[in-house]
Amino acid sequence: MSRLLEEIIEDFENNRISFKAFREIKDLNKTTLIEYQARFLDIKAELRPYKVDMVKQWIRRDDKAATAIKFRIAIAIHEGNFKDKEGKLIYEKCSINQAEKYASGCEQYKEFVDQRAFYKESMTNISDLRNDCDSFANLIKDILKTIQ
Protein backbone atom coordinates (compact mmCIF):
# COMPACT_ATOMS: atom_id res chain seq x y z
CA MET A 1 0.00 0.00 0.00
CA SER A 2 1.78 3.03 -1.29
CA ARG A 3 -0.13 5.81 0.47
CA LEU A 4 -1.65 5.90 3.92
CA LEU A 5 -5.41 5.50 4.05
CA GLU A 6 -5.76 8.89 5.73
CA GLU A 7 -3.97 10.53 2.79
CA ILE A 8 -6.26 8.82 0.30
CA ILE A 9 -9.36 9.90 2.21
CA GLU A 10 -8.05 13.46 2.40
CA ASP A 11 -7.35 13.39 -1.34
CA PHE A 12 -10.90 12.19 -1.99
CA GLU A 13 -12.38 14.98 0.15
CA ASN A 14 -10.23 17.61 -1.57
CA ASN A 15 -11.24 16.34 -5.01
CA ARG A 16 -14.90 16.20 -4.03
CA ILE A 17 -14.84 19.81 -2.81
CA SER A 18 -12.84 20.96 -5.83
CA PHE A 19 -15.18 19.18 -8.23
CA LYS A 20 -18.23 20.72 -6.57
CA ALA A 21 -16.70 24.20 -7.01
CA PHE A 22 -15.79 23.39 -10.61
CA ARG A 23 -19.38 22.37 -11.40
CA GLU A 24 -20.66 25.70 -10.08
CA ILE A 25 -18.66 27.56 -12.74
CA LYS A 26 -21.13 26.34 -15.41
CA ASP A 27 -18.42 26.56 -18.09
CA LEU A 28 -17.44 22.91 -17.94
CA ASN A 29 -14.19 22.07 -19.68
CA LYS A 30 -14.04 18.56 -21.18
CA THR A 31 -10.34 18.09 -20.38
CA THR A 32 -10.84 19.09 -16.75
CA LEU A 33 -13.81 16.74 -16.41
CA ILE A 34 -11.74 13.85 -17.74
CA GLU A 35 -9.00 14.76 -15.24
CA TYR A 36 -11.49 14.68 -12.35
CA GLN A 37 -12.85 11.35 -13.55
CA ALA A 38 -9.33 9.91 -13.64
CA ARG A 39 -8.63 11.21 -10.14
CA PHE A 40 -11.70 9.53 -8.68
CA LEU A 41 -10.90 6.27 -10.46
CA ASP A 42 -7.30 6.43 -9.21
CA ILE A 43 -8.52 6.93 -5.64
CA LYS A 44 -10.84 3.94 -6.03
CA ALA A 45 -7.93 1.83 -7.25
CA GLU A 46 -5.74 2.96 -4.34
CA LEU A 47 -8.46 1.86 -1.91
CA ARG A 48 -8.55 -1.71 -3.28
CA PRO A 49 -5.69 -3.13 -1.15
CA TYR A 50 -7.18 -1.54 1.97
CA LYS A 51 -10.54 -3.12 1.24
CA VAL A 52 -8.90 -6.52 0.71
CA ASP A 53 -7.01 -6.16 3.99
CA MET A 54 -10.15 -5.18 5.93
CA VAL A 55 -12.07 -8.12 4.46
CA LYS A 56 -9.27 -10.48 5.54
CA GLN A 57 -9.23 -9.00 9.04
CA TRP A 58 -13.03 -9.25 9.26
CA ILE A 59 -12.98 -12.90 8.15
CA ARG A 60 -10.34 -13.66 10.80
CA ARG A 61 -12.91 -12.38 13.33
CA ASP A 62 -16.07 -13.95 11.93
CA ASP A 63 -18.75 -15.78 13.96
CA LYS A 64 -16.79 -19.02 13.87
CA ALA A 65 -13.66 -17.31 15.24
CA ALA A 66 -15.70 -15.54 17.93
CA THR A 67 -17.20 -18.83 19.07
CA ALA A 68 -13.80 -20.50 19.06
CA ILE A 69 -12.09 -17.83 21.16
CA LYS A 70 -14.99 -17.70 23.59
CA PHE A 71 -14.87 -21.49 23.94
CA ARG A 72 -11.09 -21.51 24.53
CA ILE A 73 -11.53 -18.89 27.24
CA ALA A 74 -14.43 -20.85 28.78
CA ILE A 75 -12.35 -24.05 28.89
CA ALA A 76 -9.45 -22.22 30.55
CA ILE A 77 -11.84 -20.72 33.13
CA HIS A 78 -13.48 -24.12 33.71
CA GLU A 79 -10.09 -25.72 34.31
CA GLY A 80 -8.94 -22.86 36.55
CA ASN A 81 -6.15 -21.81 34.17
CA PHE A 82 -7.42 -18.48 32.88
CA LYS A 83 -5.09 -15.58 33.65
CA ASP A 84 -5.07 -11.89 32.83
CA LYS A 85 -2.33 -10.17 30.84
CA GLU A 86 -0.15 -9.87 33.95
CA GLY A 87 -0.43 -13.62 34.58
CA LYS A 88 -2.78 -13.31 37.54
CA LEU A 89 -5.47 -16.00 37.88
CA ILE A 90 -8.84 -14.32 37.33
CA TYR A 91 -11.45 -17.02 37.97
CA GLU A 92 -11.60 -20.04 40.23
CA LYS A 93 -12.43 -23.42 38.74
CA CYS A 94 -16.14 -23.64 37.94
CA SER A 95 -18.71 -25.49 35.83
CA ILE A 96 -18.50 -25.17 32.06
CA ASN A 97 -21.88 -23.37 32.00
CA GLN A 98 -20.67 -20.78 34.48
CA ALA A 99 -17.34 -20.53 32.63
CA GLU A 100 -19.17 -19.69 29.38
CA LYS A 101 -20.94 -16.82 31.12
CA TYR A 102 -17.65 -15.51 32.48
CA ALA A 103 -15.99 -15.89 29.08
CA SER A 104 -18.55 -13.54 27.49
CA GLY A 105 -17.65 -10.80 29.93
CA CYS A 106 -13.91 -11.17 30.14
CA GLU A 107 -11.59 -8.45 28.84
CA GLN A 108 -9.91 -10.61 26.17
CA TYR A 109 -13.23 -11.53 24.59
CA LYS A 110 -14.48 -7.94 24.73
CA GLU A 111 -11.25 -6.85 23.00
CA PHE A 112 -11.86 -9.43 20.28
CA VAL A 113 -15.44 -8.20 19.79
CA ASP A 114 -14.25 -4.58 19.64
CA GLN A 115 -11.68 -5.48 16.98
CA ARG A 116 -14.34 -7.34 15.07
CA ALA A 117 -16.63 -4.29 15.10
CA PHE A 118 -13.75 -2.02 14.06
CA TYR A 119 -12.84 -4.14 11.03
CA LYS A 120 -16.48 -4.55 9.99
CA GLU A 121 -17.02 -0.78 10.15
CA SER A 122 -13.73 -0.10 8.35
CA MET A 123 -14.61 -2.58 5.61
CA THR A 124 -18.02 -0.91 5.17
CA ASN A 125 -16.53 2.59 5.13
CA ILE A 126 -13.93 1.69 2.50
CA SER A 127 -16.58 0.01 0.36
CA ASP A 128 -18.76 3.11 0.65
CA LEU A 129 -15.85 5.36 -0.32
CA ARG A 130 -15.14 3.21 -3.37
CA ASN A 131 -18.82 3.44 -4.32
CA ASP A 132 -18.66 7.22 -3.91
CA CYS A 133 -15.71 7.29 -6.32
CA ASP A 134 -17.77 5.27 -8.82
CA SER A 135 -20.67 7.68 -8.41
CA PHE A 136 -18.48 10.69 -9.16
CA ALA A 137 -16.92 8.94 -12.18
CA ASN A 138 -20.40 8.08 -13.50
CA LEU A 139 -21.66 11.61 -12.88
CA ILE A 140 -18.71 12.97 -14.85
CA LYS A 141 -19.38 10.47 -17.64
CA ASP A 142 -22.98 11.69 -17.82
CA ILE A 143 -21.87 15.33 -17.88
CA LEU A 144 -19.39 14.54 -20.66
CA LYS A 145 -22.22 13.03 -22.74
CA THR A 146 -24.14 16.31 -22.56
CA ILE A 147 -21.23 18.52 -23.69
CA GLN A 148 -19.96 16.42 -26.58
| pLDDT single digits (tens) 44-59 | 999 999 999 999 999 9
CB atoms within 10 A of CB 136: 21
Task: Give residue 42's pLDDT band: very low, low, confident or very high (50, 70, 90).
Answer: very high
Signed CA dihedral, 80, 71, 55, 131: sign only: negative
| pLDDT single digits (tens) 118-137 | 999 999 999 999 999 999 99
